[in-house]
């Protein structure tokens, strides 16, 4: 079941809904102006010439506009992590963490490389939210470098199990592949109170297909071109989700496990809502059709 959102969440959605999304050409121009602002901001002393002062003011407005016009993307990513954050962080806390990542993405974005800003910022937003959860959702704080080691171990174990069904990667072999000491890796695992949940088996669905979820990549691959393609697909889905109702979004989130929870069957969703399985299937298909109309050519 999705977590209840605080009253401030709906007010926040109304607020950010006032800011229009940017076109690719606007992103390029605003990014150029924002980079000039950052250059002037980070130099010693204040802008001295009239031209520099004008560039500073224009660039600051451009920087802020890139932030406000992409807050809906932050919201849609944050909503996926509500069920993962336990009782420590609510959706507004996760949005705040994601906004930090968005701010960093604006600072580092280089429009000359040809990527859309939303594609580039997706990873920064997601990383900031994950780090916020990892640092706040534990009784004992775990340093960032240890968390990164655990995430690398998780990905390594998942890859090993795909290549060797029915077998488990030993601690010694994992440590060897990661070029770390086995005892250090064991200690990091012991201190991570949520490591066991990473090995849990996801619920199987009822055979109605998984076309949407297959478009979503959960981690950053080493191949940057593949990464850009996967992330662009996923952020397009996130933006499209903003165009459907809360009920339809809930059904898709629960059916595909998009909010970080297990995938649920149509029957299970129908039971909690007091309607028939067929009714939930119809609503799911309606939601997919509506999302499809908002997806870009890359997903068609």
pLDDT digits (tens, 9 = 90+) for 228-242: 555 566 666 666 676
Q: What is the dihedral of CA 200, 206, 208, 210, to 10 degrees?
A: 0
pLDDT of residue 244: 76
CB 128 within 8 A of CB 101: yes
Between residues 83 and 54, the one the model is more confident about: 54
Q: Quote the Cα angle for 255-258-260, to 5°.
A: 110
168: number of Cβ within 10 Å: 12
Structure confidence at residue 118 as a pLDDT band (50, 70, 90): confident
Cα maximum dimension of the chain: 69
With 50 as the cut, is the pLDDT of residue 215 above it?
Answer: no
Domains 7-136 and 213-299 share a fold: no
Average pLDDT, the chain: 75
pTM assigned to the model = 0.52
Q: Where are the domains of the chain?
A: 7-136, 144-193, 213-299
Rounded to whole angstroms, the Cα distance separating 139 from 263 reads: 28
Q: Is the pLDDT of residue 199 over 50?
A: no
pLDDT of residue 231: 57
For the stretch 162-173, pLDDT in tens is 788 777 788 888
Look up the CATH number of domain 213-299. 1.10.10.10
Q: How confident is the model at residue 19 (pLDDT cuts 50, 70, 90)?
A: very high
Q: Is 42 exposed, middle or buried (0-12, 13-18, 19+ CB in 10 A)?
A: exposed
7-136 maps to which CATH number? 1.20.120.1810
* pLDDT band (50, 70, 90) for residue 204: very low
Specify the CATH number for 144-193; select among 1.10.3470, 1.10.287, 2.60.40, 1.10.10: 1.10.10
**Best mean pLDDT range from 19-33, 72-86, 141-155, 262-276:** 19-33
What is the CB neighbour count within 10 angstroms for residue 259? 18
What pLDDT score does 262 carry? Answer: 76
């Amino acid at each position: 079941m999705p977590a209840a959102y605080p009253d401030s969440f709906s007010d926040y959605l109304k607020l950010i809904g006032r800011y229009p999304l940017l076109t690719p050409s606007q992103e390029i121009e605003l990014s150029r102006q924002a980079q000039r602002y950052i250059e002037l901001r980070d130099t010693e002393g204040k802008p001295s010439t009239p031209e520099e002062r004008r560039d500073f003011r224009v660039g600051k407005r451009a920087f802020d506009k890139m932030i406000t016009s992409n807050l809906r993307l932050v919201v849609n990513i944050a909503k996926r992590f509500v069920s993962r954050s336990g009782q420590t962080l609510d959706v507004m806390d996760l949005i705040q963490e994601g906004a930090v990542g968005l701010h960093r993405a604006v600072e580092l974005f280089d429009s000359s490389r040809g990527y859309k800003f939303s594609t580039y910022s997706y990873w920064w937003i997601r990383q900031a939210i994950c780090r916020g959860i990892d640092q706040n959702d534990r009784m004992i704080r775990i340093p960032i470098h240890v968390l990164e080691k655990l995430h690398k171990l998780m990905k390594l174990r998942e890859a090993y199990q795909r290549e060797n069904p029915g077998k488990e990667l030993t601690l010694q072999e994992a440590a060897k592949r990661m070029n770390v000491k086995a005892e250090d890796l064991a200690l990091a695992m012991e201190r991570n109170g949520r490591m066991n949940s990473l090995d849990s088996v996801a619920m199987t669905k009822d055979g109605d297909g998984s076309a949407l979820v297959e478009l979503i990549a959960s981690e950053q691959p080493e191949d940057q071109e593949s990464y850009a393609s996967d992330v662009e697909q996923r952020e397009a889905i996130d933006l499209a989700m903003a165009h459907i109702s809360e009920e339809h979004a809930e059904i898709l989130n629960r059916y595909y496990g998009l909010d970080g929870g297990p995938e649920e069957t149509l029957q299970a969703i129908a039971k909690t809502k007091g309607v028939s399985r067929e009714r939930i299937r119809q609503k799911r298909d309606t939601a997919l059709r509506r999302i499809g109309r908002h997806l870009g050519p890359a997903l068609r």
